[in-house]
Amino acid sequence: MTEEQKVRRAEAARENGAKSRGPVSEIGKYISSLNSISTGEHSELRKEELPECIALLSTDCRSAYLRLYQRHLRQYQPKSECQTTIVRHMCVELFQFERTISLETQIRQHGVDEVLRSYEGLSDAELQMFSYERGVQKEKLWRSLGREKKAHQTAYFSFVKLLKLIQRDFALAPPEPINSEPDANLLNDPLPPAEVVAEILGHADRAKNEPSYKLPHWVAQVILNEELMAEIAPDYDVEELLEKLTAAPVPLAA
pTM to 2 decimal places: 0.58
Burial class (CB in 10 A: 0-12, 13-18, 19+), 91: buried
Asked if the bond preceding 174 is cis, omega within 30° of 0, the reply is yes
Helix (H) or strand (E) holding 165: helix 139-169
Q: Comparing C-alpha atoms, which of 76, 77, 55 is closest to residue 66?
A: 55
| Mean pLDDT across 154-164 | 95
Lowest mean pLDDT among 76-90, 143-157, 175-189, 201-215: 175-189
Is it the case that residue 199 has pLDDT exceeding 60?
Answer: yes
Residues 108, 94, 58: CA angle, nearest 5 degrees: 70
Q: Comparing C-alpha atoms, which of 73, 17, 61 is closest to residue 189?
A: 61
The sign of the CA dihedral 17, 20, 23, 25 is negative
pLDDT score at 147: 94
Residues facing 253 on adjacent strands: 216
Confidence of residue 42 (pLDDT cuts 50, 70, 90): very low
pLDDT score at 144: 92
Instruction: Mention every residue, 6+ apart, whose C-beta is less than 8 A from residue 72.
Output: 87, 90, 91
Instruction: Tell me if 63 sits within 8 A of 95, measured CB to CB.
Output: no
Q: How many CB atoms lie within 10 A of CB 162?
A: 14
| Mean pLDDT across 19-35 | 59
pLDDT score at 153: 95
Instruction: Tell me if 134 sits within 8 A of 114, measured CB to CB.
Output: yes
Dihedral angle at the C-alpha atoms of 78, 82, 84, 89, nearest 10 degrees? -130
**Domain spans of the chain?**
3-46, 62-187, 194-253
Please tell me which of 39-43, 161-165, 187-191, 241-245 the model is most confident about, judged by mean pLDDT. Answer: 161-165
pLDDT score at 39: 46
